[in-house]
């Protein structure tokens, strides 16, 4: 059995498990403006359309099947994607319309509107996630709103280690604080301050994997006032402590084939 046959068998096994519920994926197969993919409970790819393959710089879907983000991206980036998958699977709730920078394999970072939904088998058990990514500049209506809040969003992504208040962000967009918060939440699915915390946690995840600094040092560097506040926020976001997060992902890295 060659690699393509193994990959297709893996895909068919997942489709059988969810009772053929991925039939709708055919609607996304060739749409040029939407990247659509799905993963199983272990965050292994089970489906990818043409736009997704372009992001991953691949010609054939089977070359993604059964693989993980860590097979294509550095661990500090791929771990963030997996944590998002797990968060949706834990909550059972769809996360939709929040802007995220996603790197193409070829290098450039692009802004996408992302929707992540849990997949369930016939018994109702969550067995994976379906993900749709829309290039922010190709989504009519959303593009204008994104342009409106982009200065604040860029500030959040580049200055998140510094003290930031909603008032400051609103001033960057020439909106009142109330207007800004409403528009931001509608577009990104979170309040500005919740989004800030998520950005700090994402950076902390990268620091925990890329350095051997203590959790307390990482916390202060990522904008948290103390380690206890950091640990609470980290557990809420990832479902585990910083120490366990570091150990789990580094153990996985050491155990992966070279």
Dump pLDDT digits (tens) for 6-15. 998 998 888 8
Per-residue confidence (pLDDT) for residue 258, from 0 to 100 = 43
pLDDT surpasses 60 at 194: yes
Q: Give Cα 152 distance to the centre of its chain.
A: 20
Residues 223-258: pLDDT tens digits? 998 889 999 999 988 888 999 999 887 777 666 554
Fold of 3-138: Beta-Lactamase (3.30.450)
**Beta-carbon count within 10 A of 131 CB:** 23
- Taking every pair of Cα atoms in the chain, the longest distance, rounded to a whole number of angstroms, is 62
Residues 32-69: pLDDT tens digits? 778 999 999 999 999 999 889 988 889 999 999 999 98
Per-residue confidence (pLDDT) for residue 44, from 0 to 100 = 95
Per-residue confidence (pLDDT) for residue 54, from 0 to 100 = 86
Enumerate the CATH 1.10.10.60 domain ranges in the chain, comma separated.
142-251
Residues 69-101: pLDDT tens digits? 888 887 767 877 888 898 899 999 988 765 566
Looking at domain 142-251, does it have CATH number 1.10.10.60? yes
- Split at pLDDT 50, 70, 90, the class of 218 is very high
Section 138-164 average pLDDT: 79
Residues 104-126: pLDDT tens digits? 666 555 677 788 999 998 888 99
Enumerate the CATH 3.30.450.20 domain ranges in the chain, comma separated.
3-138
DSSP helix/strand/coil, 31: coil
pLDDT greater at residue 120 or residue 136? 120
Per-residue confidence (pLDDT) for residue 23, from 0 to 100 = 63
Q: Are 103 and 73 in contact (CB under 8 A)?
A: yes
Share of the chain above pLDDT 90, in %: 43
What is the 3-state secondary structure of 188-249? Answer: HCCCHHHHHHHHHHHHHHHHHHHCCCCHHHHHHHCCCCCHHHHHHHHHHHHCCCHHHHHHHH
Least confident of 99-113, 141-155, 215-229: 99-113
């Amino acid at each position: 059995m060659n690699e393509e046959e193994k990959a297709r068998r893996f895909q068919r096994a997942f489709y059988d498990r969810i009772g053929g519920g991925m039939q709708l994926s055919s609607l996304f197969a060739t749409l040029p403006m939407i990247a659509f993919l799905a993963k199983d409970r272990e965050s292994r790819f089970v489906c990818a359309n043409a736009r997704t393959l372009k992001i991953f710089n691949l010609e054939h879907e089977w070359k993604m099947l059964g693989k993980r983000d860590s097979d294509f991206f550095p661990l500090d980036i791929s771990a963030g994607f997996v944590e998002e998958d797990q968060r949706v699977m834990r909550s059972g709730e769809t996360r939709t319309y929040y802007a995220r920078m996603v790197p193409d394999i070829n290098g450039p970072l692009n802004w996408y509107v992302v929707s992540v939904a849990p997949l369930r088998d016939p018994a109702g058990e969550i067995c994976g996630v379906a993900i749709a990514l829309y290039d922010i500049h190709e989504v009519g209506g959303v593009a204008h709103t994104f342009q409106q809040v982009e200065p604040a969003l860029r500030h959040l992504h580049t200055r998140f280690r510094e003290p930031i208040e909603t008032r400051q962000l609103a001033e960057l967009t020439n909106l009142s604080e109330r207007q800004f918060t409403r528009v931001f939440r509608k577009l990104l699915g979170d309040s500005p301050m919740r989004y800030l915390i998520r950005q700090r946690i994402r950076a902390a995840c990268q620091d925990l994997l890329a350095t051997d600094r203590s959790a307390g040092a990482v916390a202060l560097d990522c904008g948290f006032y103390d380690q206890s506040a950091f640990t609470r926020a980290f557990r809420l976001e990832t479902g585990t402590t910083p120490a366990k997060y570091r150990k789990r992902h580094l153990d996985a890295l050491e155990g992966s084939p070279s």
